[in-house]
Structure 1
Amino acid sequence: MPTLRTAATGLLRDLIPAPGAERRMGVLTLAQSLGTGLFLTSSAVFFTRTVGLSADSVSVAMSIAGLCGFLATIPGGRVADRLGARRPLAASYALLAALFVAYGFIDEIGEFTIVACAIAVCETVGSPLRAALTHALFGSARSAGVRARMRSLYNLGFTGGAALAGAALATGSRSAFLLVLTGNAVLQLLCAVITVRLRPAGPEVAGSGAGRSWAAFRDGRFLLATVVSGVLELFQPVLAVGVPLWVVNRTHAPVALVAALTIVNTVLVVLLQVAASKGSDTVSGSGRLLLRSGLLMALACGMFAASGNGTGTTWAVVLLITGTAVMTLGELAQSAGGWGLSFTLPPEGRMGEYQGVFGLGRGLQQFFGPALVIMLPLGMGTFGWLILATVFLLAGLTAHWAFARDTPSELPAHPTPTPSP
């Protein structure tokens, strides 16, 4: 028992950011994720039932917004190299606050589409800006570890926001909807204030980052890292779309298990992301993490395949819970390995540009992932799961071949700055 208590204490301690810039980043992450969980969990219901927009029109509008956000990824990275990441990121949070307030005055689909596109651009641009700011604050050696801690906090905040959204949905009134929008806007403004106070110790703009460049697209090794990481990110539609539909349509497991699987995933991410990120401060360590990710995800797909209709209820439940836990461990390794490569491979002065390109892998997964998951496991059954397992396995082996063979003693590509208090 003392050993278990010590281990649990250590995991919880990992969630607490160090004083100074890292702790401010933690507060920023909690505020952002709380607002995101609050809004995303309730917005579709409110816009269709309270505002009166049709579900089909909202779906089309969100697809258009997703495309706008995808196209803004690389320009967002270039902004970080040209102007520094801190002020543009703060401006994006402030603009998001205004846009969420604007949602409260919308009553037709054209207005909704315009605001949704603007929000998608701000949110998508924020990703490379946050990554570039993280690197400016903590350097290559610490950035992946900081991102790991922030991801744990993000899941914690998102879960809290989703719980608050449940209370708002229970009311179902327009007043509750306006309260959700106002709360999210206030949290976005708080993020803007915190971002302004996150001042790197060194210069915010590297001298070589002023001009336009397509260096990231000419960097074959970085592009390979982008593709491999994007392929492994297929765990997201697998857990969010594939497994729930598989449980409902292809297994004898109870439908209520879907909620339990979501809880298993969330708890493991919150508790283990920091511990699972060991080794992500070097290229070779990141390559080994991606190999581990591919192996674990392939194993999880095999477990999901074995839980099909030919398996009894009890074994189906055991296989689905175990498979979700194994897939989540692969998710943790993928996140850490992807962050590690995205921070250690870019050259000096091009961090924003490279982060923007790296985000394209995630964007492509978001576009094609749900359809691929439905076409393979849901359309082809067990054989579809095995195809998906092969894809994960090949991605992990490719990462091992391309990155894990670097010497373990390699130094980070850039020095680690000391953030100003």
Structure 2
Amino acid sequence: MPPQILPPAGAPRVLAAAQLSNSLGDGAYYVTSALYFSRVVGLSPTQIGLALTVAWAIGSVAGVPLGALADRRGPRGTAVLLALTTGASVASFLFIRSFVPFLVAACLYAVAQCGLAAARQALLAGLVTPAARTGVLAHLQSTLNAGLAVGAALGGLALQYDTQGAYLAVFALDSVSFLLCGLVLLRLPTVPRSVGRGKGEPRLAVLRDRPYAVITALNAVLLLRMPLLSLAVPLWVVERTHAPSWVVSALFVLNALAVTAFQVRMARGVDGPRSATRTVRHSGLIMLASCAVFAFSAAGLPVWVTVAVLVAGAVLQVVAEMQQSAGSWQLSFDLAPAHQVGQYQGFFGSGVPVARTLGPLLLTSLLVVWGVPGWLLLGGILLGASLAMGPAVRRAERARAAGEEGAEHLEQVSGRRRAGAR
């Protein structure tokens, strides 16, 4: 890998190797799975969509208790177990031939994936200093995109052959990739378990942390940019512009290469809540500009001008994406108690399945049906969420400081009582 992509030696590099191993399989899986279940298994698009919606909805809820499990039992062992569970769920797809087993396997896959993401974040928090976490996450994101790009190319070969054997080979590859991911994670040192709950502290404290919940909700809104290039922009290009259809693939490749090459550089300087909030705010402004540019592509311009406008919109979009990612990573760690990183990361990460579940319907309604006004409304929504992040973060910081002062006061009172009893 280029120097800016290769993470520092030690735990960050091992985490990147684990990320690369399963992203290769996932890249192939993402581009082939829908066609396999439709053409080979014989499921209808409605059945596939319903199963995936239910699965990711359950996965978004399961992330918190599985993150709490990582806190209590240790993040390394939990991450390894969930990586193996994900591999097993993918392997079960090899034998599924009807809807109900597909629904069950899809739910297991989504639950294990959401839990694995939370456990990995808790593992990173235990092995990397707070000041270095965002930079390491930027390296991991670059690794993820590189792996997905290579995996998607492998999946393209399966699509070219378009046989049952080719599709099954992709599922086998993805299953083995998660097995390899688990084995790589075993190379990391053990992270101590959480010290446990404080007196009177609920088991899933994050569910009562309203300021953190507001930040998580705002981040989920910002994550609506995730289905843009995979769903909304392709439909927009085909139905609303004069651009050739190959532009869709070119924009996707542009996004993957940009994140791979520049995510680490974009994360530099994000080292605390203030810089993170500022970066998220900038991402909202750039995302509004991107939406306006994409809307302009439907102005009936010559084909080459339309293509140039779409590329400009995609460039702005990926810059906003990288800034939003860097800022949100920093906030998700800075505002979480050190002994509950797993459950807090599981809760914060629920924005991803929520965006995957609600994003397609919302974006197709806004952009494909409403057209230009829909793009401008989407840009306004994303800008509003990014601007609201600042006040939400300041409120969360005040609430956390008050909680720490209260805990310290109770500890002092308890100490005086023990001393008096003696």
Alignment TM-score, normalising by the size of structure 1:
0.88
CA distance in 2, matches of 1:58, 1:189: 26
Partner of residue 101 from structure 1, selected from 91, 94, 109: 91
2:51: which partner in 1?
61
Structure 1 letter corresponding to 2:368: L
Residue 204 in structure 1 maps to residue 208 in structure 2: no
Q: Does the CA contact (< 8 Å) of 1:280 and 1:339 recur in 2?
A: no
Partner of residue 112 from structure 2, selected from 104, 114, 122: 122
Q: Deviations over 1:244-300 (max 9, x none)?
A: 111111112222211111111111111110011123321111101101110110010
CA distance in 2, matches of 1:384, 1:48: 31
TM-aligned CA distance change 1:288 to 1:308, over 3 Å: same
Q: Which deviates more from structure 2 when the two are superposed, residues 43-52 or residues 330-339?
A: 43-52
Q: Secondary structure at the match of 1:366?
A: helix
Q: Does the CA contact (< 8 Å) of 1:28 and 1:191 recur in 2?
A: yes
1:349: which partner in 2?
339
| Offset of residue 402 of structure 1 | 4.2
2:16: which partner in 1?
26
| Offset of residue 340 of structure 1 | 0.4
2:215: which partner in 1?
225
Q: Secondary structure at the match of 1:197?
A: coil
Structure 2 letter corresponding to 1:326: L
Q: Secondary structure at the match of 2:244?
A: coil
CA distance in 2, matches of 1:369, 1:56: 16
Partner of residue 384 from structure 2, selected from 377, 383, 394: 394
Q: Deviations over 1:149-185 (max 9, x none)?
A: 1011101001111111111222233332332222222
2:122: which partner in 1?
132
Residue 169 in structure 1 maps to residue 155 in structure 2: no
Residue 359 in structure 1 maps to residue 345 in structure 2: no
Larger Rg: 2
CA distance in 2, matches of 1:204, 1:356: 16
In structure 1, stretches of 5+ residues that fail to align are: 1-10, 408-421
1:143: which partner in 2?
133
Q: Secondary structure at the match of 1:274?
A: helix
Q: Does the CA contact (< 8 Å) of 2:60 and 2:351 recur in 1?
A: no
2:416: which partner in 1?
none
Residue 79 in structure 1 maps to residue 62 in structure 2: no
CA distance in 1, matches of 2:314, 2:198: 42
Q: Does the CA contact (< 8 Å) of 1:284 and 1:406 recur in 2?
A: no
CA distance in 2, matches of 1:14, 1:161: 21
TM-aligned CA distance change 1:274 to 1:196, over 3 Å: same
Q: Secondary structure at the match of 1:351?
A: helix
CA distance in 1, matches of 2:168, 2:92: 10
In structure 2, stretches of 5+ residues that fail to align are: 398-422
Displaced runs of 4 or more, over 6 A: 404-407
2:321: which partner in 1?
331
CA distance in 1, matches of 2:209, 2:377: 30
Alignment TM-score, normalising by the size of structure 2:
0.88
2:409: which partner in 1?
none
Q: Deviations over 1:372-395 (max 9, x none)?
A: 211222222211111111112212
CA distance in 2, matches of 1:325, 1:71: 33
Q: Secondary structure at the match of 1:234?
A: helix
| Offset of residue 47 of structure 1 | 2.2
CA distance in 1, matches of 2:235, 2:111: 30
Q: Deviations over 1:117-156 (max 9, x none)?
A: 1111111111111111111110322111111110111010
Q: How many residues align?
A: 396
Q: Does the CA contact (< 8 Å) of 2:63 and 2:114 recur in 1?
A: yes
Q: Deviations over 1:37-93 (max 9, x none)?
A: 122211222222223333332222222222221221211121122112111110111
RMSD of aligned alpha carbons: 2.2
Q: Does the CA contact (< 8 Å) of 2:197 and 2:203 recur in 1?
A: no
